[in-house]
Amino acid sequence: MRIAVCIKQVPDSTQVKVDPATGTLIRAGVPSILNPYDHYALECALKLKKETGAEVCVVSMGPPQAQEVVRLALALGADRGILLSDRAFAGSDTWATSYALSQALRHLGGVDLIMCGVMAIDGDTAQTGPGIACQLGIPQITFCDEISVAGTTVRAKRLIEGGHETVEAGFPALATMSLPHEYERAYPSFRQIAAAQEKPYEVWTVATIHADPKFLGLNGSPTRVDRVYAPSARERGTIFTGSPAEIVARFLEILKQENFVK
């Protein structure tokens, strides 16, 4: 069995600070991390590897520095790492990204199960996973928080509005993983990191995956960013400062005034 996990390097949004003067984000010096949803998808794939002996390949599309997350995945136990990197991919929206990744997965070949994070924390779209499944013409199971494999069938517990459902599909299939409620990301040990230095990763370009350049990058993307701007500030409300007792008294007054307490 071969499992491919699609992973993305993202800025760590928990480390991003807001500039109080301009209200915009201070991006400089923000560390990059493996997208947490992808991290969980990778850990689920590695668990399946333990249970079934599957081979786990990770594929990441991104600029050259995205090799960091490919190396992290190798250190965590992935067998093979592929960095899909080419200037022609830059500016791809979710459509063009799923096209590029699906071409890479075709080129990889023999993949039974594709696993992705539900979404990346820098875009929150959740569109790339279903996009890849569609391009490859295979079934998708999205928003899973548990996944298992029996023979050539994948079974997953997925979120639905107000509950869960358990579904099954035959190979090949694509699953997108949501974060379970209690989840601690696993990080590699020094020994694993050292061992991973021996594992080479591959760099693939547009030519490697036989992608049609007209479907890639900005020009191949159906969506276009028309304008980017700071959100319009609402009228600033009334701001109170004072001793704790004064604040509490004023707060209670407002709750009464606005009829939230009788």
Residue type, 37: Y
CB 166 within 8 A of CB 156: yes
Euclidean distance between CA atoms 252 and 109, whole angstroms:
65
Task: Figure out which of the listed residues 164, 186, 207, 210 binds another protein, where binding follows CB under 8 A.
Answer: 164
**Sole binder of another protein in the list 69, 77, 100, 221 (CB under 8 A):** 221
Q: Which is nearer to another protein, 182 or 198 (CB)?
A: 182
Residue from 93, 117, 144, 147 touching another protein (CB under 8 A): that is 93
* Euclidean distance between CA atoms 193 and 258, whole angstroms: 58
Residue 185's CB is within 10 A of a number of other CB atoms, namely 13
Q: Does 195 bind another protein (CB under 8 A)?
A: no
Query: Minimum distance from CB of 208 to another protein (Å)?
Result: 17
| Residue 217 CB partners (closer than 8 Å, separation 6+) | 88, 89, 90, 91, 92, 96
Closest distance between another protein and the C-beta of residue 115, in Å?
15
* Shortest CB 138 distance to another protein, Å: 8
Given 121, 193, 195, 203, the residue binding another protein (CB under 8 A): 121
Query: Considering only residues 41-80, where is the footprint of another protein by CB under 8 A?
Result: 62-65
Q: What is the DSSP letter of 5?
A: E
Q: Give CA angle at 86 (82, 91), nearest 5°.
A: 115
Q: What is the per-residue burial (b if ≥16 Cβ within 10 Å, else e) of 201-210?
A: beebebeebe
Does 24 bind another protein (CB under 8 A)? Our answer is yes
**In contact, 42 and 3? CB cutoff 8 Å:** no
Region near another protein per CB under 8 A, out of 45-53, 70-78, 202-210, 250-258 = 250-258
With binding defined as CB under 8 A, does residue 124 bind another protein? yes
SS3 of 204, please?
A: strand
Regarding 185 and contact with another protein (CB under 8 A), the answer is: no
CB of 81 vs another protein, minimal distance in Å: 19
Closest contact distance (angstroms) between CB of 72 and another protein is: 18
Q: How far is the CB of 59 from another protein (least distance, A)?
A: 17
Nearer to another protein (CB atom), residue 50 or residue 234 = 234
